[in-house]
Structure 1
Amino acid sequence: MPICHKSLLKTGMAFFAIAFSVPALAHPHVFAEARLDVNVDGKGNIKSLHHVWRFDDLFSSTVLVEFDKNQDLALNQEELEDVAGVVHTSLADFNYFQMVTQGGKDVAMEAPERLIADFVDNQLIILFESKPEKPLALGSTVSLGVYDPTFYTAIDFIEDSYMTVNDLPAGCSKAVVRPDPDEALAQNQQTLTEAFFDDPVGNDMSKIFATRLEITCSKDS
């Protein structure tokens, strides 16, 4: 299948221009296993998020073919940097698939300075760190997750232990929330119309299906 970068950019799927030339549909075509480490400083502020995504074999093999310039069936450091650069640029308009809210309101995140790409056991791995634009003090519930607003990619946390908080302050608790798809559809049936699923640039409502980590602190913590 020929690679059509221009077509994918028009549909908002720039990240997958490295491998696909079809528009986003209402179900995922790429799968990744995610890990998230939330780092809290000594003042009770979330100072950074550390993301790790491990992609499925099919997508990884496509990336290998596309970026293996010397055709040695491996990705050297220069080729891996090319992969990381493409992903970094392409996901900028999607906030790097991050979902961060406090008290139900979106939290602005700085764009990561760089992404790191690796290839382990025939699977593409993407790593990056991001930080809130302003100090994010733990207080009202903070919700964190990863989702693709176009529904093209399914990025999920296979185990609850894949979402961690380092140095969680006393008086605070964390919980992994996995929305039930049927319940999410039923609760949002008026907004989840056919037009919503056909929107190629995505929609924030798709976050209702995303696994999320919730951090809640008592008022006197």
Structure 2
Amino acid sequence: MPVKMPIALLACAAASLLVSTVPASVHPHVFAEARLDVMVNGDGTVKSLRHLWRFDDLFSSTVLMEFDKNADLKLDDAELKEVSDTVYASLAEFGYFQIVTTNGKDVEMKPPAQLMANYQDDQLIILFESEPKAPLKLDGKVDFGVYDPTFYTAIDFVEDENMAVADMPAGCTRSVIRPDPDEAIAQNQSTLTEAFFNDPAGTDMSKIFATRLELNCTAKDRLRE
């Protein structure tokens, strides 16, 4: 169902990687720098994912104009609450744009208990924390990322350190995967349909281009040192 401005602009995508490989009409309009922190329990299970998205100045000013009801050129607590409620509702149907897989299988996440919005230095900041629906052990290959099937907004982890693990178990290795668009398409050619090439925003395959934090862990080393 269509959503009014600026809710549609808050549907976030890692689309900047696709400009050279998909139709010219599909490109990001909104940009955000992100941070992802994976929190780990003492038994080697994932406690939660902590997300921070900092939006570009142009989009942030659009949000300010839309939600600044008293026209004082700032967002007070009540206005920020309206922003957070709007974003929370609009992201729900997309699973809050999270990618979590373990050994190639999707992991279901609980909806975040709440979402916080802040407006600082002329930028909109979104923060939320989510937990796995079932216990998620760090065993084998576990991937985390963010993507949006609408290709509207590019969420960028500018530095590899912006995808971090708190209290990573001994024996786990961490790497940040930044897929090459051409290689990603070639590797997934058999699963990409004509619909993807005609209208990528109408499919769920944009996740193959998303930057991912990949953890590789052995079963015997789940516990921290």
TM bucket, shorter chain:
0.7 to 0.9
Q: 1:18 to 1:204 in 2, by over 3 A?
A: closer
In structure 1, what is the Cα distance between the partners aligned to 2:201 and 2:180? 24
* Deviation string, structure 1 residues 100-153 (Cα, Å, up to 9, x no partner): 000100000000011000011101000000000011011021100001111111
Give how far 1:202 is off.
4.1
In structure 1, what is the Cα distance between the partners aligned to 2:141 and 2:188? 22
Give how far 1:96 is off.
0.3
Q: 1:198 to 1:30 in 2, by over 3 A?
A: farther
Residue aligned with 2:89, SS: helix
The number of residues matched between the two structures is 208
In structure 1, what is the Cα distance between the partners aligned to 2:188 and 2:38? 29
Paired AA for residue 61 in structure 1: S
Match of 2:2 in 1: 7
In structure 2, what is the Cα distance between the partners aligned to 1:155 and 1:85? 20
Q: TM-score, normalised by structure 2?
A: 0.86
Match of 1:16 in 2: 8
Question: In the alignment, is the contact (CA less than 8 A) between 2:97 and 2:146 conserved in 1?
Answer: yes
Q: 1:40 to 1:59 in 2, by over 3 A?
A: same
Give how far 1:187 is off.
2.5
Paired AA for residue 69 in structure 1: K
Q: 1:91 to 1:199 in 2, by over 3 A?
A: farther
Match of 2:16 in 1: none
Give how far 1:37 is off.
0.4
Question: In the alignment, is the contact (CA less than 8 A) between 2:151 and 2:201 conserved in 1?
Answer: no
Q: 1:68 to 1:77 in 2, by over 3 A?
A: same
Give how far 1:18 is off.
7.4
In structure 2, what is the Cα distance between the partners aligned to 1:18 and 1:36? 18
In structure 1, what is the Cα distance between the partners aligned to 2:125 and 2:111? 19
Q: 1:58 to 1:86 in 2, by over 3 A?
A: same
Give how far 1:195 is off.
2.2
Paired AA for residue 213 in structure 2: L
Greater relative contact order (CA < 8 Å, ≥ 6 in sequence): 2
In structure 2, what is the Cα distance between the partners aligned to 1:49 and 1:143? 12
Match of 2:167 in 1: 167
Give how far 1:201 is off.
6.4
RMSD over aligned CA atoms reads: 2.2
In structure 1, what is the Cα distance between the partners aligned to 2:55 and 2:203? 23
Match of 1:209 in 2: 209
